[in-house]
Structure 1
Amino acid sequence: MIKVDNLSYSLPQKDLYNNISFTIEEGQHCAFIGASGSGKSTLIDIIMDPERYLFDGSLEMDQNCKIGYVSQFSQCDKSKETTVFEYIAQEFIRLEEEIAHICSQMENSSDIEVLLEKYQEASDKFDAIDGHDYESNINKKLNLANLSKHKDKMISELSGGEFKLIQVIKEMLNNPDLMIMDEPDVFLDFENLNALKNLINTHKKTILVITHNRYLLNNCFNKIIHLENTELQEFDGRFIDYNFSLLQTKIETQEIFIAEEEEIARNEALINILREKATYNAEASRGRALKARVKIQERLQERRIKAPFVYIKEPYINLTTDNEIEEEITALRVNNFGITFDDVLLKDVNFEIKSNDKVAIIGTNGVGKTTLMKEIFKNNNECIEINDNIELCYLSQMQGNGLNESSIILEEFYEAGFKNYGEVRRYISSYGFNEDILKQKISSLSGGERNILQLAKVSASRANMLLLDEPTSHLDTYSQMALEKAIQNYNGAILMISHDYQFIVNCMDYVLMIEDKTIRKVSMRKFRKMIYANYFDKDYLEIEQKKKLVETKIERALMDTNFELAKTLSKELEELIKLL
């Protein structure tokens, strides 16, 4: 379906791809993975509209290939008054109306041949998307995604996660030859994540999905494309097998690479000695010895294997506060709080958070988590009481609320209180941004890079209570782990909305669960049991977490050239994979 051969492409600030090649066959479900900012979304853009880009190499794809696309940044248009069913059925309804209009024209037109041609074209399009059964097909998809109850809802009433699923359904029902989705899992609660998994697994045609979500990666794909450090690897098979194969290959090739580098260095030292001797002794034998040694070096350089990608791009996220509270106080108290729009969203909400508590708010999409957090941040509701010693900082799940996308990065940090260019450059370098990016527009960054930038601004505020709404969205695995450490080391209070249950378990003290339009406090122990009972096979989360930690230890062992430790850890990883 797609063949990419030796494709290279650069942005003004950095190289994205260096002679990358891959194929996607018809019917494959392909996961596209790689660190934030490595160029995954740009490569998707090139596939969808190659005429817009000047790249080296070739991209072959059928000109008639119909592409369906779900963007990572798509948001519900709250101004559109249309139901979920009408939104999904837009193309079907449009074609039905077009066919009806052509038929009415035929009754009074003498130019019947032109109208017949238009009628046939519209009918063919309607048939291609199985238009005659579209109502039944929409109902089936909504049922598969557990969204049947939303069929007659206005799309303006949907949460971000629900709208993302509706978009996926809409694009799938338009019957594209290739379905492309850019981080469709962002903001989905676990029930909706399972719904997305079902939608992907029942889709019969070709799918290409950018994702960092391990649950989807482990359960949905039979091909992996991995973009890292301007290079690409492809693997036909499951992600879990690819990941293990990749680490084993890294161990083997890195060991050989280090040995070869040592040999090349020794040979270079000999060449330098011979060259020095030849400068003051012109004997022919010395010249021949030097030439021979240079030829050996050239052969070593030619046959040396390429260093595998082992660098872990883990930003240093440092959440600190200037107003650390030594004696524990009540930072936030909520009394009999409620939210009502057309219906009651929340009622009789009561809880308090101490000055060093780390608390997660959880609940299904659309139950009012973000609305509650915004009300806390605004702090003008009589039911919400914030201690005078508490300074709040808010990270929004909508990145446009925390960052001005038309600004350059430098301007964003000047507004945050930084005084000069050097201060900004030094500060953001620890977050993985180099100096070249300072004058780049925020709109040009990937979702993961924007989120890291938001976290850098939150950290710079030095507030002693953080309100974090989906802070792991768009982040790659290593950025998520860096954020986990930062939260664990933070000496203030945190109230966090998240659907990432592993992340919650790793760094939160307890959970506030929204159920039946109110909130109850749940211990971490009870929360874990509840999550297992509802969603996972026994011990899945623990095994997956142990697996991720062992993989990271292997990466670090490779960086330290400790190959014996890496091999030992590899055996440990193999046993964990068997358990999964």
Structure 2
Amino acid sequence: MLTISNLSFYFGGRPIFDGANLQIKPKDKIGLIGLNGMGKSTLLRLIVGEYQPDAGSISKAGDCSIGFLNQDLLSYQTQDSILAVAMQAFERENYLQTEIDKVLHEMEVDYKDELVDKLGRLQEEFDHLGGYTIQSKAEEILEGLGFKTEELSKPLKEFSGGWRMRVMLAKLLLQKPALLLLDEPTNHLDLPSIQWVEKYILNYENAVVVVSHDREFLDNVCNTTVEVTGAKLVSYPGNYSFYIEEKALRNEIQKGAYENQQAQIRQTERFIERFKAKATKARQVQSRVKALNRLEIIDDVIDATARVHFKFKFGVNPGRNVFSLEDVSKAYGEKVILKNTTATIERGDKIALIGANGKGKSTLLRIIAGDENIVGERKLGHNVNFSFFAQHQMESLHLEETLLEELKYADGGKSETELRSVLGCFLFNGDDVFKKIKVLSGGEKSRVALAKVLISEANFLLLDEPTNHLDMQSVNILIQALEQYEGTYVVVSHDRHFVSQVANKIWYIEDYEIKEYPGTYDEWEEWYEENRKSVASNQQAAASASQPVKKVETVTQKPAANANLIKKLEREISEIEAKITDLEHQLATIEGKLADPSNYSDNHALQKLNADYEVVKVELKKANDLWEAKMLEMEG
């Protein structure tokens, strides 16, 4: 469908891509990953033609339509309603509707046979394209992305950038291009909307390439992972978790090959050095010199998984009760956020505040920080010293200061060596520490602001969406920092992997109250799903009980029909068991090949083995599920 061949692209003399190759097939779900600045967004812009390659080619099939969601769309504004903007996706249907309206208007004053025929043709095509359902389709997607029904008629201009981006995403999904390019689609989505988009992409009939730093999102939607590294595109036939395992294996193989080659080079150089002055060895020395010159050098493995160690110190330790709210209410006009709610934060609590946008998560953080007027009592505990990180704080950084100078504003009493060490943990090395804040990217500014919070000696942290604008390596660093932090914190985040790693309590706002779950995010998610199913089951039972009881006529199946059905099921079960045996044998054969080190020398063959293994594993699961279903049917 789309092929990238020997692609080279330079930016300011620096190679972003150099001989990169990639093939995108129909129905591929590709996760495009890599460190910030490696060229992920650049690749998407090359695909859509915004940038032109310096060498190589990007060729696509003639019927390959492309839809591109990018951060530039945040600036789009109009007085049209968000429903009207989303429905712009239906170009042909909108044109036909306009023509139908014109014909109907003409027929009001001049009812001619030609107009009747034209109206019939227009309506037939409109109906064939599903024109009578386009509004309901647009409404369904907009509401899936978090909009309320009453908001659909509001002008796009009234919404913030993040909500406008959701409208652009809805429009793109309604267009259903053959290739969907999504650049950080989850950045402006809350958790329910992220989960909705996941399900939509999984069922999307065409190809998708998505750039994201949300590893759980990538795990749930992608069947291929492509890493942008070393100006190349390296493919892995699986989701992000598969990529992590496979990359570790490839690195191990590459490390061994590199070390073997280096040992060979050292041995050859010692031979040359030892015998270069001897005439009798001149031919052998010359041969080895030529061999070294012809040698294709294997690169050493660069470990992109940063391991950091933070030394946190507090001026004072807080008391047991760090913070409390008593009968607190908060509203903005008619919009109620909290009503007579009570909550307590104790020393050592690591709280994740989760939920849909608009529920008041950021407002609650500001209430805790004392930045909001409330009804009720807000009480900060004994010796509590808090620090608040929010996205707007990046704007308060001193643009003309260097990174080192900026960290001194945190007043942690640290030496320059200690500050350099902290900046190094956040991937600012060498002369980076002398850069001015004004030249940093959004993600780099976010890292600086986080570093200031973490060295402030605060024993209570409030973190509002700290992972926004961070790549996976930076998120990993933040996770490690918070794991080593011995104080108390409340964090708002829609990054499920991040939350699952850092929280020991879950808060969510429901019915205008703060609800608490005393456990990890994974435990909460399991509990919440079971609770939701239980409520739905009880509601269904109650609804059934309220219906009038109908007399049900019992139909007794004839013994002969029962016997025939049982024989049929026995035959089907036997066939499925034979298939399971065959698949298990195939799986064992592939596992044997994967365990053979000789197969790791051919990367293409290794990729095929891994792909075959995943296909057989999926087929085996389907067969087992079918066998179980047939057995249950037999028991019935």
TM interval, short-chain normalised: 0.7 to 0.9
Q: How far apart are the structure 1 equivalents of 2:518 and 2:161?
A: 27
Structure 2 match to 1:25: 25
Q: How far apart are the structure 1 equivalents of 2:517 and 2:435?
A: 46
Structure 1 match to 2:343: 351
Structure 2 match to 1:212: 213
Structure 2 match to 1:379: 371
Deviation at 1:356, TM superposition (A): 4.0
Deviation at 1:362, TM superposition (A): 1.9
Residues 496, 439 of structure 1: CA spacing in aligned structure 2 closer, same or farther, 3 A cutoff? Answer: same
Give the 5 Å matches for 1:456-471.
456-471=451-466
1:512 maps to amino acid: W
Structure 2 match to 1:39: 39
Q: How far apart are the structure 2 equivalents of 1:486 and 1:524?
A: 20
Q: How far apart are the structure 2 equivalents of 1:130 and 1:436?
A: 60
Deviation at 1:530, TM superposition (A): 3.7
Tell me if 1:246 matches 2:247.
yes
8 Å CA contact retained: 1:7, 1:21: yes
Give the 5 Å matches for 1:91-170.
96=94, 100=98, 133-142=133-142, 149=149, 152=152, 154=154, 165-170=166-171
8 Å CA contact retained: 1:161, 1:189: no
Structure 1 match to 2:498: 503
Q: Which runs of 5+ in 1 are unaligned?
A: 108-122, 537-573
Deviation at 1:195, TM superposition (A): 0.4
Structure 1 match to 2:83: 85
SS of the residue aligned with 2:468? coil
Residues 327, 371 of structure 1: CA spacing in aligned structure 2 closer, same or farther, 3 A cutoff? Answer: closer
Structure 2 match to 1:365: 357
Deviation at 1:165, TM superposition (A): 4.4
Q: CA deviation digits over 1:133-176, x for unaligned, max 9?
A: 42132134346667674663746887987665443222121343
Deviates most, 475-484 or 491-500: 475-484
Q: How far apart are the structure 1 equivalents of 2:179 and 2:479?
A: 36
Structure 2 match to 1:430: 425
Structure 2 match to 1:195: 196
Q: How far apart are the structure 2 equivalents of 1:143 and 1:411?
A: 43
Structure 1 match to 2:59: 60
- TM-score, normalised to structure 1's length? 0.73
Q: How far apart are the structure 2 equivalents of 1:349 and 1:463?
A: 26
Q: How far apart are the structure 1 equivalents of 2:232 and 2:131?
A: 42
Among residues 330, 351, 376, which one is paired with 2:322 in the alignment?
A: 330
Among residues 528, 532, 543, which one is paired with 2:526 in the alignment?
A: 532
Structure 1 match to 2:387: 393
SS of the residue aligned with 2:21? strand
Tell me if 1:268 matches 2:266.
no
What's the C-alpha RMSD, in Å, of the aligned pairs? 4.6
2:344 maps to amino acid: E
Q: CA deviation digits over 1:318-370, x for unaligned, max 9?
A: 47355331654534545413223432122222223235432221222321101
SS of the residue aligned with 1:524? coil
Residues 332, 272 of structure 1: CA spacing in aligned structure 2 closer, same or farther, 3 A cutoff? Answer: farther
Percent identity between the aligned chains?
Answer: 24
Q: Which structure is larger by alpha-carbon Rg, 1 or 2?
A: 2
8 Å CA contact retained: 2:33, 2:211: yes
Q: How far apart are the structure 1 equivalents of 2:127 and 2:439?
A: 39
Deviation at 1:103, TM superposition (A): 8.8
Deviation at 1:517, TM superposition (A): 1.4
SS of the residue aligned with 2:402? helix
Deviation at 1:233, TM superposition (A): 0.7
For these two proteins, the number of residue pairs brought into alignment is 512
8 Å CA contact retained: 1:393, 1:458: yes
Q: How far apart are the structure 2 equivalents of 1:407 and 1:74?
A: 26
Deviation at 1:96, TM superposition (A): 4.4
Deviation at 1:23, TM superposition (A): 2.2
8 Å CA contact retained: 2:410, 2:453: no
Q: How far apart are the structure 2 equivalents of 1:151 and 1:476?
A: 33
Residues 319, 10 of structure 1: CA spacing in aligned structure 2 closer, same or farther, 3 A cutoff? Answer: farther
Q: Which runs of 5+ in 2 are unaligned?
A: 107-122, 531-612, 622-636
2:87 maps to amino acid: A
Give the 5 Å matches for 1:293-308.
293-299=288-294, 301-302=295-296, 304-307=297-300
Structure 2 match to 1:69: 68
Residues 367, 434 of structure 1: CA spacing in aligned structure 2 closer, same or farther, 3 A cutoff? Answer: same
Structure 1 match to 2:608: none
Q: How far apart are the structure 2 equivalents of 1:286 and 1:324?
A: 74
Q: Which has the higher contact order (CA 8 A, sep 6+)?
A: 1
Q: How far apart are the structure 2 equivalents of 1:9 and 1:152?
A: 42
